[in-house]
Chain A
Amino acid sequence: MKFCRSIGLFALAALSTAVVTPRAATADDTVTLSLTLKDHKFDPAELHAPAGKPIDIRVKNLGDIVFEFESSALHFEKIVPPGSEAVVHVRPQQPGRYNFFDDFHHETQGFLVVP
């Protein structure tokens, strides 16, 4: 019983340490990219960002219908009502081509390219 309890405490302690550990990169490193959504199309449909730097993607919904900005690869999902703007934070990426989409209309696709 005691053993179980101490395992639980250890896990909690490990977690809380992990939570407060800051990322090595500073905020100045962050690359901000902007895009808009209108008529179920992202503009630009392809974004570019350098490898190894945190990325903020700023998306503005210029259409008249809500959309859900989502990406499994980049780990975000956010509802963006018409006329509003949202920012998602993306951790530093390895080179690659990452897909994002509107979860309400899967034909609406875009990519983040990291060379």
Chain B
Amino acid sequence: MLAALLIVFREVFEAGLIVGIVMAVTAGVPGRGLWIFGGVAAGVLGACVVAMFTGGLSELFGGSGQEIFNASILGFAVLMLTWHNVWMARHGREMAAELRAAGEAVVAGSKSLAALGAVVAVAVLREGSEVVLFLYGVAAAQGGASLAMVFGGFVGLVLGSLVCLATYLGLVTIPARYLFGVTSALIALLAAGMAAQAIAFLEQANILTALDETVWDTSWLLSDSSYLGRALHTLIGYVDQPTAMQLIVYAATLAVIVVLMKLFASPAAHPPHVAAAE
């Protein structure tokens, strides 16, 4: 029971951090509940499908199917997060200024919600497929799902969801005038971390071999597999032994997002003298 509880908690907590951030980012946007719930539902469904086909997936691309699949969906999530941040840099302030009342803002807001809904789906799919595989494996080994396992899994799900709720409630206590900046930074770090993780999968598949030496080792300080290490891994892409390529891609992703946000920022967001200085 304890094993099921711990594994389910761990995975739900990782996905929950991302869902919590997305909930805070979209706080007050009409129709967000539907998109987030849709993302979770699509993620759960996807997790079951992926878990069912893991064996076949592994054998694709000369045995590197899992790596290519993971790298691809992570890459997709990075694009969605980047797009969201750039879109918000352009329209976020207008939306806030108009108090999100106009019908126009609702329509515009839903475009960005779709991107974040997709990010939620990817997060739930990745963590969820591990839960499904694990629980299915335990059930198969025992010759059926035991009550203890179901109970353990349920408690893990509830505790993990509490982390999601805590993340959301923690973020929304941030005063409105800072919330936009904080959530933009969180989304950018989330995207950079996912990009670095995608690189790790490409390195593992031998698709990417340049600059793959380990640059530093902070596992003595904070291990990847500790809870704090996992939380930071999900949130900002912490890895205790990063490769040079991971660090480069991490920095490049952050730089590209910041540059794009500046390029597409709505003119009204900048006082004229700042624009002239650039």
A interface list, Cβ under 8 A from B: 1, 4-5, 7-8, 11, 15, 18-19, 21-23, 64-66, 68, 72-73, 75-82, 84, 86-89, 91, 101, 103-106
Contact = CB atoms under 8 A, between A and B. Distances in A.
Given A64-B141, A91-B203, 7 more contacts: A11-B252, A65-B141, A73-B214, A75-B243, A89-B205, A91-B209, A104-B130
B35 interface: no
B130 A68 contact: yes
Interface in B1-17: 3, 7
Contacts of A68: 130
Contact of B259 (A4, A73, A104): A4
Interface of B: 3, 7, 54-55, 58, 63, 66-67, 130, 133-134, 136-138, 140-141, 200, 203-206, 208-214, 217, 219, 223-225, 239-241, 243, 245, 248-249, 252, 255-256, 259-260, 262-263, 278
- Indicate the member of B141, B209, B256 with the most A CB atoms within 10 Å: B209
9 contacts: A4-B262, A7-B259, A65-B138, A72-B219, A72-B223, A78-B67, A78-B204, A79-B130, A89-B205
A81 B248 CA distance: 33
A111 B249 CA distance: 29
Given A66-B133, A72-B240, A1 B225 contact: no
Contacts, number: 101
Contacts of B224: 72
3 smallest CB-CB distances across A and B, nearest first, come from A65-B137, A66-B137, A23-B209
A59 B193 CA distance: 28
Nearest to B70: A77
A9 to B, nearest CB: 10
A64 B210 contact: no
A21 B245 CA distance: 12
Contacts of B137: 64-66, 81-82
A11 B255 contact: yes
A79 to B, nearest CB: 6
Residue among B7, B203, B210 with max Cβ neighbours from chain A (10 Å): B210
B256 A78 contact: no
Nearest to A76: B204
B58 A79 contact: yes
A23 to B, nearest CB: 4
A79 B243 contact: no
Contacts of A4: 259, 262-263
Contacts of B203: 75, 91
A84 B134 CA distance: 15
A92 B206 CA distance: 12
B125 to A, nearest CB: 14
